[in-house]
Structure 1
Amino acid sequence: MTFLEAVQARRTYYSISKESVVSDERIQEIVNEAVKHSPSAFNSQSARVVLLLGKSHDRLWDITKEELKKIVPADRFKATEEKIDGAFRSGYGSILYFEDMSVIEGLQNQFPAYKDAFPIFSHHSSGMLQFIIWTALEEAGFGASLQHYNPVIDNAVKAEWDIPDNWKLIAQMPFGKPVAAPGEKEFQPLEQRVRVIK
């Protein structure tokens, strides 16, 4: 598969199973290589990742349900629980994406002219890392999706896995073996989205 073929193949999968398609070591290798080689502003390498497998993966989504139960009306919680259990907890593992805010603050102090831009640059870097891992998981045969239950789950996640206070949770990526095809994807005309100027 070429790079652009992998990019085209990457989709959002909500129907995933607890079956793995590669070894845990291969999953960790994908994560390690992506974290190592993903670009970051000023080569700051501010990304932090936690890979959750097995019971730890299940625990993440149990925590998510526990925290959401505190704020979701009781009559609507069943639908929330079914979504989490059927599309996220049903998977093989989850990746938690963080940014180390002490690195960002260090850059802000070192380069005050860019102070307001560094948090934005940080999110750019995180987005690239997420895309790299998501595409690599797709190429390996997994289906994944990107979720954002932060900041609702932040404190509980930090307490459960002793995450440093300066790590800011950005996103969660559940993944597993696809058990159903993703929905059709429609594309807006490229003529409305891309301009070529010579």
Structure 2
Amino acid sequence: MTSKVAPFLDTIASRRTIYALKPQLPENIELKDVQDVVQAIIKHTPTAFNSQINRAMILTGESHKRLWNHVYETIPIENFKKRPLSARDEAFGTVVFMVNDAKTKEMQQQFPAWAETIPELAAHASGSAQISTWAAFKQLGIGAHLQHFNQLVADALPEGSIMEDWEVQGQLVFGLPAGSPNEKTFIENEVKVFH
């Protein structure tokens, strides 16, 4: 494998789910560093028709705790309460990823042949931003895990922080790693080449 791409592939391979977090950032990393990374990824993640529909916000402190407390208290399934509780009590913050639904609807009108596919393409763009942010956090020494309590999170965002036409797509909960990720196993999934 060419040495030019090896560091990038190492970053992708080392990005892992870390649930055991401490509510702090690594030494020499500030919240502004986190904001700069998220801003750059939102700006540069490709989107269908260059729609630039990705949006994000970062919650820390009381806004982070209120959000996850709301999810914990609202979620109807007891078995799913563990993750919101640990996010509330053990993580430093949350990146909330969204897409601009007004732009999605506008694109559906502009490109009627693609109208059914455009919401799916919006979700793909958001997913790309989520994974890129997660990998970048790993490079900063920040542990993270990705959650999708989307509607519950949307209901608990700080008042005035979200536009009416933004749809929540995912939450990257982050902090200082307090443990190692679980061992990862892989299926046999060869990429074949046809000529």
Partner residue of 2:183?
184
User: Letter of the aligned partner of 1:54 in structure 2?
Assistant: G
The separation in 2 between residues aligned to 1:172 and 1:67, in whole angstroms, is 17
Write the mapping of 1:36-55 to structure 2, written as runs, cut at 5 A: 36-55=43-62
Question: Structure 2 vs 1, CA of residues 162 and 32 (structure 1 numbering), >3 Å: closer, same or farther?
Answer: closer
Partner residue of 1:8?
13
- Structure 2: runs of 5 or more not aligned: 1-5
Instruction: Say if 2:45 and 2:129, in contact at 8 Å, map to a contact too.
Output: yes
The separation in 1 between residues aligned to 2:115 and 2:32, in whole angstroms, is 39
User: Letter of the aligned partner of 1:43 in structure 2?
Assistant: N
Partner residue of 2:132?
132
% of aligned pairs identical? 32
Write the mapping of 1:25-174 to structure 2, written as runs, cut at 5 A: 25-68=32-75, 71-72=76-77, 76=78, 80-87=80-87, 89-157=89-157, 160-174=159-173
User: Letter of the aligned partner of 1:93 in structure 2?
Assistant: G
Query: Would you say how many aligned residue pairs link Structure 1 and Structure 2?
Result: 188
The separation in 1 between residues aligned to 2:45 and 2:11, in whole angstroms, is 17
Instruction: Say if 2:70 and 2:152, in contact at 8 Å, map to a contact too.
Output: no
TM superposition shift of 1:88 = 5.3
Instruction: Say if 1:57 and 1:89, in contact at 8 Å, map to a contact too.
Output: no
Instruction: Say if 2:66 and 2:156, in contact at 8 Å, map to a contact too.
Output: no
Partner residue of 1:195 out of 172, 192, 195: 192
The separation in 2 between residues aligned to 1:171 and 1:5, in whole angstroms, is 24
Query: SS of 1:185's equivalent?
Result: coil
Instruction: Say if 1:150 and 1:169, in contact at 8 Å, map to a contact too.
Output: yes
Question: Structure 2 vs 1, CA of residues 35 and 153 (structure 1 numbering), >3 Å: closer, same or farther?
Answer: closer
The separation in 2 between residues aligned to 1:183 and 1:138, in whole angstroms, is 15
The separation in 2 between residues aligned to 1:11 and 1:35, in whole angstroms, is 21
What TM-score does the superposition give when structure 1 sets the normalisation length? 0.88
User: Letter of the aligned partner of 2:169 in structure 1?
Assistant: I
- Structure 1: runs of 5 or more not aligned: none
Partner residue of 1:23?
30
The separation in 2 between residues aligned to 1:164 and 1:17, in whole angstroms, is 31
The separation in 1 between residues aligned to 2:58 and 2:68, in whole angstroms, is 14
The separation in 2 between residues aligned to 1:83 and 1:11, in whole angstroms, is 16
The separation in 2 between residues aligned to 1:103 and 1:44, in whole angstroms, is 7
After superposition, give the CA deviation of every residue in 1:35-92 in whole Å (9 maximum; x if it has no partner): 1111000110001101111222112111211221xx23xxx3xx64443222554111
The separation in 2 between residues aligned to 1:155 and 1:84, in whole angstroms, is 15
The separation in 2 between residues aligned to 1:87 and 1:172, in whole angstroms, is 10
Question: Structure 2 vs 1, CA of residues 156 and 93 (structure 1 numbering), >3 Å: closer, same or farther?
Answer: closer
The separation in 2 between residues aligned to 1:10 and 1:196, in whole angstroms, is 27
Query: SS of 1:32's equivalent?
Result: helix
